[in-house]
Amino acid sequence: MKFLRYGLKGLNAVALAIALLWCVGLWCYQPISLITLCTILGAWVAVCRIRKKRPSHTSWWLWGLVSACILTYCCIPGPTPQQWQTPWAKEPQFEFSDNGHTLTIRNIRDFRYRTEDDYSPHYCTQSYDLNSITGVDFAECHWDGMEAICHTMLSFSFADGRHLVISPETRLPLGVEQNAIGGLYKRYGLLYVFGTEDDIFALRTNYRHEDLFLMPMKVSPSQARTMLLYLVAQQMHAAASHLPYNTVSHNCSTGIIRMFRHVAPSMPLIYNLLPIHNGSISRILFRHGAFHSLPHESYEDFRARSYLGYDLPSDNFSSVIRSRIAPAPSAP
């Protein structure tokens, strides 16, 4: 019993230390939460003076402080700045017609780049026949040699040759820089960017020189349509509720990973935690048969074949990248 009691005390101390570190970040990134800190400290001092000694059960007071900070955090609204940074300035807008079979999207991002930071903003409006969806590609983007963390996107293909990329991204207010710690405290917005491959993909391969992998998913047209409509609903919800980005709970992967059960229903529920370590998503999907891979092809070979490389031709960009990932013809 003594061992168990000491073990529980140790766990409580570790959990409390982590919770208090989170509170320190909250006080730094959301100064309004300092009101909560001052209130709790004031109550503690008042009790000390009344009792003329320090109250016992200090950990209870600290857990009370943590609980009050969590409540304060929940009451802080998502960011609504006067101006967002240019890449995330406009939200996509949606309109359904033809009994829900046609989706018209306004503010599809299609920027023209000269360098990563030198570009001409451009948006377009496109209408899509939802019955003409032919497939979905999963895109995984790595930078600075990081393998455990990546940016995830989906690209929907249509029978007329068009491709629509959906990229859940951090929406930064003007003058604010992104960092992982700040992303825990409702500092940024969340925007599902609907854009062209010439913008979203080429920015990463041709100008940022990031490692982008494009992996065709084994989905039926009906499943692909369900996935697209789900992401439309996610963006509409994010816009209506001013949903903030969160490094852990609302990042570039949380919004799309739930859809993967449509293509890999055998995935254990534990994989819902993948957004915390989203560099493993493609490996798990491959293991559960969610990609169009060759017979007996290993994950390493499939991933190598899915790699796009850098500085790709801008003319017919979508055709070029798909020719790169197409299986080599077998020898006669």
Q: Which domain holds residue 202?
A: 86-325
Where residue 98 falls (left for φ over 0; alpha for ψ -120 to 50; beta otherwise) is left
Q: What are residue 280's phi and psi, to 5 degrees?
A: -95, -5
| Position 331 pLDDT exceeds 60 | no
Cβ 312 vs Cβ 210: under 8 Å: no
Cβ 140 vs Cβ 281: under 8 Å: yes
Q: Are residues 254 and 143 in the same domain?
A: yes
- Residue 80 within a domain: no
Identify which has the larger pLDDT, 49 or 146. 146
Q: Are residues 98 and 220 in the same domain?
A: yes
Q: What is the pLDDT of residues 237-259, one digit of tens each?
A: 999 999 999 988 888 888 777 77
Between CA 190 and CA 207 the distance in angstroms is 23
Q: What are residue 234's phi and psi, to 5 degrees?
A: -60, -45
pLDDT confidence of 170, banded at 50, 70, 90? very high
Cβ 36 vs Cβ 69: under 8 Å: yes
32-37, long-range: CB within 8 Å, 24+ apart, which pairs?
A: 32/72, 32/76, 33/69, 33/72, 33/73, 33/76, 35/72, 36/65, 36/68, 36/69, 36/71, 36/72, 37/65, 37/69
Q: Are residues 144 and 171 in the same domain?
A: yes
- Residue 332 within a domain: no
Between strands 151-158 and 163-171, the pairing is antiparallel
Q: Are residues 288 and 185 in the same domain?
A: yes
Retrieve residue 73's tokens: 């955090």
| DSSP string across 130-168 | GGGEEEEEEEEEE-TT-SS--EEEEEEEETTS-EEEEEE
Q: Are residues 18 and 141 in the same domain?
A: no
For the chain, first and last CA: distance in Å? 73
Retrieve residue 45's tokens: 């001092």
Query: How many structural domains comprise the chain?
Result: 2
pLDDT confidence of 116, banded at 50, 70, 90? very high
Q: Are residues 272 and 152 in the same domain?
A: yes
Which residue type is seen at 179?
N
Residue after which a domain boundary falls, among 75, 106, 122: 75
Average pLDDT over residues 134-161: 93
- Residue 330 within a domain: no
pLDDT confidence of 262, banded at 50, 70, 90? low
Q: Are residues 34 and 104 in the same domain?
A: no
pLDDT confidence of 24, banded at 50, 70, 90? very high
Q: Give the angle subtended at the CA of 52 by the CAs of 46 and 53, to the nearest 5°.
A: 95
Q: Are residues 313 and 204 in the same domain?
A: yes
